[in-house]
């Protein structure tokens, strides 16, 4: 087991190098100076532009800059923000827990709804319930994320307040005044979490349903039924576990989508996470920060896939680790 | 799978049916219908898919008729009426209300539909051409070409696409066409992987080997034997890519990084409206609903198409 994980981690190294190269190349190889609006600005002397570029290390050829940047990354140094000189790593570490809280809770919530939904629909194949979930699954994963989030805020925050119902907070992670308690945090989490997970519920539930249907056609299910095992027990004892196995991989593959969705959700709810940080940095043309967050998103995705592979190997005895 | 015709397209259904006619000498009551004809028969029975197709055609017609809509409402899409901003639907002669600059929502919706659908079409074309090209080359030639392409695919797939897209869109501040190309350039790797797998499974078939043995050049094998056989998968993939591109365009424009105002797109209408959603939620609701309905119906058509074309389901 340990060796398997170590080997998988080693395989991540070339991937990370590749990702870092793509990120670096995108930012640095395009024409134009990353010091925006200074070259054409008549109020800035060329000497000052040169000084600024030297200060940011932009006077050296790009391969040298890339190797330098990569060397620093290996040592855990992502550079300093071009905007305010704060170390990129510190900024990312500061907001990472918020993004993780949002993404992981959305993931768990989505699974908690999708699994029963998918299994139940498969168990009632070709009934009205099955057909309904089938269509509603598509209806869920076609929802524009940001629009859904805003509409939920409109209804559950503003309209509910208007109608005199208890309403949920629309923005932030805690209340600025008397917030910070567990209940307050949970209350703030509800809307972003639900908006982020609804789309995933559609994808996963329909996947679980078809996975269940496939397993239910297997010989061992027929054998189990033939020897007199109850329908209920074949469904939940035999079929269920086997149908859930491929889901582990799918969840790993869905991570980029969840992180991508989290950017939109963080934007709508002013949720102080990596997504919001990325957007702010993009607006400030803070390239070191954007490179850092992009790299962070990729590493999180790779770690998630690793975790999915390990989980798959642990859950499926047919998979040998070595 | 299917007939080995060199020009497989939807217009040649008749030719396909001809090609599938039994050889002379054997007696058969009727010619076996071609694969695309059978697929169409299955598709026609799928009421949900047909209804969705009708809705999509209506939306396309609405977008194409944008000048007529403008005539009807009496507003151009970029006309500001600051004194009448954020009118409710039906107020001041704005059928669906006006936005934060006092522009007519209905007119902008029609013109925005043009932009959104245009981006979606071009982006899908760009994405699938890249995916198809790399997938065919990678799967057919194998060896180091395959290794290089697939490692690049691995790298690109491990960067979440939205952050990447945000980065690229900021650097280039794109117009409609460039924006579509960028989306295609970022999303192709998944398609390349899918098509490569398909080509790999086809490459081992006898007819491909036979072609190679008799000395058919690689280019002809790829274009005349492999391409027609991956066409069904390509069609399904295309029909599922269009809605996902529409959602991507919406997300990016929503963040202010897509098509720039005053050119309307459903996504940037959403972005403009969300600044005022506390005063007027209808402005957010309407363009979002258009995006939602289009994406939903396109997905349903795509799923119908997949079920109709999937050879494993049979008749």
Helix (H) or strand (E) holding B99: none
Of A15, A260, A267, the CB nearest to B154: A15
**Confidence (pLDDT) at B293:** 92
* pLDDT over 70, % of chain B: 80
Tell me which chain B residues have a C-beta less than 8 angstroms from the C-beta of A138.
Answer: 296, 299-300, 303
pLDDT mean across residues, chain A = 82
- Residues in Cβ contact with B96 at an 8 Å cutoff, skipping those fewer than 6 apart: B89, B104, B105, B106, B109, B282, B286
- Average of per-residue pLDDT across B30-39: 74
Chain B partners of A141 at a C-beta cutoff of 8 Å?
A: 299
Bridge partners of A87, per DSSP, are A80
> What is the predicted pLDDT for the residue at A27?
78
- Cβ-based neighbour number of residue B16 at 10 Å: 20
pLDDT the model gives residue A28: 74
Residue B138 · residue B104 · CB < 8 Å: no
- The secondary structure element, H or E, covering residue B155 is helix B143-157
HSE-up of residue A3 (Cα within 13 Å, Cβ side): 3
Indicate the pLDDT class of residue A248, thresholds 50, 70 and 90.
confident
Q: What is the pLDDT of residue B15?
A: 46
Q: How far is CA A130 from CA A94, A205, A254, A286, B140, in A?
A: 44, 11, 24, 49, 41
Compute the average pLDDT of residues A13-25.
Answer: 86
Residue A97 tokens, joined: 């827990």
Q: How many CA atoms lie within 13 A of A309 on its CB side?
A: 17
Answer yes or no: are the C-beta atoms of A263 and B163 closer than 8 Å: yes
Pick from A143, A256, A290: CB nearest B160? A256
Determine whether the interchain pair B156/A22 forms a contact, defined as Cβ–Cβ distance below 8 Å.
yes
Select the more confidently predicted residue: A110 or B77: A110
Candidates A108, A148, A182; CA nearest to A269 is A148
Distance separating alpha carbons of residues B248 and B245, to the nearest angstrom: 5
B39 with B280: CB under 8 angstroms?
A: no
Residue A71 has pLDDT above 70, yes or no: yes
- Give me the residue label for tokens 């990129």: A88
Say if CB A322 and CB A121 are below 8 A apart: no
* SS3 category, A142: coil
Of A52-61, A175-184, A193-202, the range with the highest mean pLDDT is: A193-202
User: What is the reported pLDDT for A38?
Assistant: 52
Residue B130's pLDDT band (cuts 50, 70, 90): very high
Residues of B in contact with A254 (CB under 8 A): none
Residues A292-313: tens digit of each pLDDT:
888 888 888 888 888 888 888 7
Quick one: pLDDT at residue B125? Answer: 92
Contact A297 B251 (CB under 8 A): no
pLDDT of residue B7: 38
Set of chain A residues whose Cβ sits within 8 Å of the Cβ of B161: 256, 260
Mean pLDDT across chain B, nearest whole number?
Answer: 79
> A258 vs A202, A210, A247, B30, CA distance in Å?
13, 22, 15, 52
Helix axes B66-73, B47-64, angle to 10 degrees: 60
Residue carrying the six token digits 């959603």: B277
**Whether residue B100 has pLDDT greater than 80:** no
Q: Is residue B20 very low, low, confident or very high in pLDDT (cuts 50, 70, 90)? A: very low
Q: What is the pLDDT of residue A283?
A: 81
Tokens of B175: 């117009």
Q: Is the pLDDT of residue A285 over 80?
A: no
- Distance from the Cα of B192 to chain A's closest Cα (Å) equals 16
* Better pLDDT: A159 or A56: A159
How many residue contacts between A and B have a Cβ separation below 8 Å? 134
Label residue A113 left, alpha or beta by phi (over 0 means left) and psi (-120 to 50 means alpha): alpha
pLDDT value at residue A109: 94
Question: A144, A209, A309: best mutation site toward chain B, by most B Cβ within 10 Å?
Answer: A144
Q: Which of A250, A257, A258, A261 is nearest to A209 (CA)?
A: A250
Measure CB to CB from residue B163 to each of A21, A150, A278 and give the nearest one: A278
Would the CB atoms of B274 and A293 count as touching at under 8 Å? no
- Model confidence at B41, pLDDT cuts 50, 70, 90, reads confident
The label of the residue with tokens 């789309």 reads A199
- pLDDT value of residue A32: 54
Structure tokens at B164: 């990447």
What is the mean pLDDT of the segment spanning A219-235?
A: 86
Residue of A nearest to B301 (CA): A138
A144/B250 touch (CB, cutoff 8 Å), yes or no: yes
Distance (Å, whole) CA B44 – CA B166: 40
Question: Which range is most confident: A100-114, A121-135, A149-163, B246-260?
Answer: A100-114
Q: A20-24, A158-162, B124-128, B220-224: which has the highest mean pLDDT?
A: B124-128
Q: To the nearest whole percent, how much of chain B has pLDDT over 90? A: 8
Q: Does a cis peptide bond (omega within 30 degrees of 0) precede residue B262?
A: yes
Residue B302, pLDDT > 70, answer yes
Helix (H, G, I), strand (E, B) or coil at B98: strand
| Chain A nearest CA to B93, separation (Å) | 25
The SS3 call for residue B159 is: coil
Q: What is the pLDDT of residue B27?
A: 53
Contact state of A279 with B255 under an 8 Å Cβ cutoff: yes
Chain B contacts to A (CB-CB under 8 A): 48, 151-152, 154-164, 166-168, 170-172, 243, 247, 250-251, 254-255, 257, 270, 274, 277-278, 281, 284-285, 288, 291-292, 295-296, 299-300, 303
Residues of B in contact with A302 (CB under 8 A): 158
Residues B190-242 have pLDDT tens digits of 888 888 888 888 887 888 888 888 888 888 888 888 888 888 888 888 888 89
What per-residue confidence (pLDDT) applies to B36? 81
Distance from the Cα of A228 to chain B's closest Cα (Å) equals 30
Burial tier of B120 (Cβ tally within 10 Å: 0-12, 13-18, 19+) = buried
Q: Would you say residue B10 has pLDDT above 70?
A: no
Out of A18, A297, A302, name the one closest to residue B163 (CB): A297
**What is the average pLDDT across A83-111?**
89
Q: Do B208 and B226 form a contact (C-beta atoms < 8 A)?
A: yes
Neighbours of B24 (CB within 10 A): 6
């Amino acid at each position: 087991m340990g060796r398997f994980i170590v080997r998988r981690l080693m395989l991540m190294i070339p991937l990370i190098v590749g990702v870092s190269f793509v990120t670096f190349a995108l930012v640095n190889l395009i024409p134009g100076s990353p010091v925006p609006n200074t070259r054409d600005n008549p109020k800035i002397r060329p000497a000052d532009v040169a000084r600024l570029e030297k200060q940011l290390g932009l006077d050296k050829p790009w391969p040298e800059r890339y190797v330098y940047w990569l060397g620093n990354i290996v040592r855990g140094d992502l550079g300093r923000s071009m905007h305010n000189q704060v170390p990129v790593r510190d900024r990312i570490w500061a907001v990472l827990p918020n993004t993780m809280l949002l993404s992981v809770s959305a993931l768990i919530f989505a699974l908690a709804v999708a699994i029963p939904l998918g299994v139940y629909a498969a168990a009632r194949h070709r009934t009205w319930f099955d057909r309904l979930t089938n269509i509603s699954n598509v209806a869920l994963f076609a929802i524009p994320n940001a629009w859904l989030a805003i509409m939920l805020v409109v209804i559950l925050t503003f309209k509910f307040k208007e109608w005199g119902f208890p309403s949920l907070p629309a923005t932030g992670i805690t209340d600025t005044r008397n917030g910070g308690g567990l209940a307050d945090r949970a209350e703030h989490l509800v809307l972003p979490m639900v908006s982020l997970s609804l789309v995933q519920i559609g994808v996963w539930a329909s996947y679980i349903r078809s996975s269940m249907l496939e397993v239910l056609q297997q010989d061992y299910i027929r054998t189990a039924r033939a020897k007199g095992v109850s329908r209920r027990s074949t469904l939940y004892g035999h079929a269920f576990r086997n149908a859930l196995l491929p889901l582990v991989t799918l969840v790993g593959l869905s991570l980029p989508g969840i992180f991508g969705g989290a950017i939109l959700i963080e934007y709508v709810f002013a949720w102080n996470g990596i997504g919001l940080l990325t957007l702010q940095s993009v607006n400030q043309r803070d390239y070191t920060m954007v490179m850092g967050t992009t790299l962070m998103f990729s590493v999180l995705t790779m770690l998630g896939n690793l975790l999915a592979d390990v989980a798959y190997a642990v859950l499926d005895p047919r998979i040998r680790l070595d | 799978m299917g007939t080995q015709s060199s020009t497989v397209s939807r217009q040649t259904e008749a030719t396909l049916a001809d090609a599938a006619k039994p050889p002379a000498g054997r007696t058969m009551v009727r010619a076996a219908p071609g694969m695309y004809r059978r697929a169409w028969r299955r598709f026609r029975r799928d009421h949900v898919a047909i209804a969705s197709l009708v809705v999509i055609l209506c939306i396309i017609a609405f977008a194409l008729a944008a000048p007529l809509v403008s005539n009807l409402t009496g507003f151009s899409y970029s006309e500001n009426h600051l004194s009448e901003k954020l009118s409710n639907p039906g107020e001041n002669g704005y059928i669906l209300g006006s936005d934060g600059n006092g522009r007519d929502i209905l007119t902008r919706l029609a013109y925005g539909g043009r932009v959104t659908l245009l981006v979606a079409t071009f982006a899908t074309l760009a994405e699938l051409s890249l995916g198809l090209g790399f997938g065919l080359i990678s799967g057919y030639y194998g060896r180091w070409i395959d290794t290089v392409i697939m490692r690049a695919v691995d790298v690109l797939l491990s960067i979440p696409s939205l952050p990447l897209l945000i980065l690229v869109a900021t650097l280039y501040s794109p117009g409609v066409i460039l924006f579509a190309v960028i989306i295609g350039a970022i999303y192709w790797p998944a398609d390349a992987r899918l098509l490569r797998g398909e080509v790999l499974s086809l490459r081992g078939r006898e007819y491909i080997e036979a072609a190679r043995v008799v000395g058919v050049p690689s280019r002809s094998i790829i274009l005349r034997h492999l391409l027609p056989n991956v066409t069904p998968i390509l069609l399904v993939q295309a029909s599922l890519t269009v809605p996902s591109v529409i959602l991507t365009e919406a997300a990016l424009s929503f963040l202010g990084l897509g098509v720039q105002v005053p050119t309307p797109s459903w996504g940037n209408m959403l972005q403009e409206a969300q600044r005022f959603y506390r005063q007027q939620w209808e402005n957010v609701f309407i363009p979002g609903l258009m995006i939602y309905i289009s994406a939903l119906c396109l997905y349903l058509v795509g799923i119908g198409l997949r079920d109709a074309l999937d050879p494993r389901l049979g008749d």
